[in-house]
Amino acid sequence: MRIGNGTPAGETGATGIRSLIAALTSETWLTGRPDGTQSERLVKDWQYDGSRTVLHLKLRDDVYFHDGTKLDAALAVKILTGTAEHAADEGVRSFESIKAVSAPGADSVDVTLSEPNAFVVPDLSIATVRAPGSTTIGTGPYVLARRDDQGAQLSAFPKYYRGQPSITEITLTNYRTQRNAWAALMRSDIDMLYEVSRDAVDFVAADTTVHTYTAPRPYYIPLVFNVRNRVLANPEVRKAINEALDKDALVRDGMNGKGRPADGPIWPEHWARSQSSPTFHYDPDAARRRLDAAGFKVGKGDAPSRLSFNCIVFADDSRFERLAVLVQKQLADVGIDVHLEPVKTQAIVARLQAGDFDAALFEMYGRSVSYAYDFWHSRKDARLNTGYTSADAVFDRIRRSKSQDEMRAGVAELARVLYEDPPAAFIAWQQASRAVSARFDVGAERDRDILSNVWQWRMVGSSTQTSR
């Protein structure tokens, strides 16, 4: 099978290919379900002791790495210890709570925590498992055979524990633009378009030789506020901005309808999220009244705006360009002047961490509550440096929760805090669309990314692969 990725190779363009390679070659300890719960993967059973500071893990006994090494308890201890030591770099900061990892049996691992941390188990469905000292040797259904700026070559892993993949080889190719990639799909030069842009989905879907699959993407788009800014320090201004934004229109016109409005950083289907949480509603008149009451009156003459601030946006990602302009227009309608500043991806990350911005429009991962903690808690090494501290206490309570009831109560309280003192205007959750030649039977499931079961795909008319 030939897969095309419609972004240029290099600093930002390799992102799609990199994540695709990771999805096909490596796995996580557990699998995260759409509702925020976990199911087995490399770990088949898990439970805490009474103090919730020792997590007992039971491993599968039929898992092998691509180099032929079997995953046993001793190796799992080494991998988990390494992940804990580099928790921030691995994107699982909850693992910083890991004090020790031991192997009481050949297939048993004990993870000892310095304190109860409700994020550790969910983050086992995020932490990637690779052979020690390697960035490419995993336990996934495919082996990385070649990688360069133009793409990569993958081969089926015959010892994959869930069954040998039906598709024996996968070629990944980078194209400079999305248009180049879907043109290759139309010419049958490739069999799959990894990510179909929002603007091209309807066009690609109209071609009867391909099938288009859309699923929720666990990334939300916020307009983030730096509360150190003199104007944005006022919570009434931040509330007014939330009231001034028509999120339905932003999704419809700025994202071609490929998303849903957001009201916070917690995944909409997460089991701990309350559907009765307070939310902002589009009401530009209320926004104007709120700004008037806060002393931000409409100006006269050459400066009619009530207030102004700069907003940094991705300079190399067209998905955000139209959305940013629409946000700018909607806020201008209530007298807020937003100056858009395009910034390269790597520079935008550095500026967010340094707090060098007034506002920013970008995307964040949001299926795990631990990521909401990492982004919105003001800890010293937080992913965002906004000066916002109002949610720290409730985030700490959520992290230390010992039961589902405590977690639900904490998430409900978080929603209240983020409403009364908003750190951002949470705009939308996204969707991902993929297009595959009709020659392939992908066994699509509702609201699930088809990439999760590539190893089970088969050519139409071939025998069905038995899974384990």
158-171, pLDDT tens digit by residue? Answer: 999 999 999 999 99
pLDDT tens-digit map of 82-91: 999 999 888 8
> In this predicted structure, what is the pLDDT of residue 12?
41
Fold entry, domain 2-22+140-209+438-459: D-Maltodextrin-Binding Protein; domain 2 (3.40.190)
Q: Indicate whether 262 pLDDT > 90.
A: yes
Query: What are the structural domain ranges in the chain?
Result: 2-22+140-209+438-459, 27-129, 217-430
> In this predicted structure, what is the pLDDT of residue 426?
98
Question: Sorting pLDDT into bands at 50, 70 and 90, what band is 97?
Answer: very high
> In this predicted structure, what is the pLDDT of residue 13?
39
d(CA 5, CA 20): 9
Query: What is the average pLDDT across 339-366?
Result: 93
> In this predicted structure, what is the pLDDT of residue 379?
85
pLDDT tens-digit map of 425-460: 999 999 989 999 999 999 877 778 898 899 999 998
Q: Indicate whether 8 pLDDT > 60.
A: no
> In this predicted structure, what is the pLDDT of residue 407?
96
Q: What percent of the chain has pLDDT over 70?
A: 96
> In this predicted structure, what is the pLDDT of residue 17?
81
Query: What is the average pLDDT across 18-40?
Result: 93
Q: Do domains 2-22+140-209+438-459 and 217-430 have the same CATH topology?
A: no
Query: What is the average pLDDT across 118-129?
Result: 96
Q: Indicate whether 203 pLDDT > 70.
A: yes
Question: Sorting pLDDT into bands at 50, 70 and 90, what band is 318?
Answer: confident
Question: Sorting pLDDT into bands at 50, 70 and 90, what band is 400?
Answer: very high
> In this predicted structure, what is the pLDDT of residue 468?
45
Q: Indicate whether 467 pLDDT > 50.
A: no
Fold entry, domain 27-129: Dipeptide-binding Protein; domain 1 (3.90.76)
Region of poorest pLDDT, from 83-92, 282-291, 315-324: 315-324
Mean pLDDT of the chain: 92
Fold entry, domain 217-430: Dipeptide-binding Protein; domain 3 (3.10.105)
> In this predicted structure, what is the pLDDT of residue 277?
87
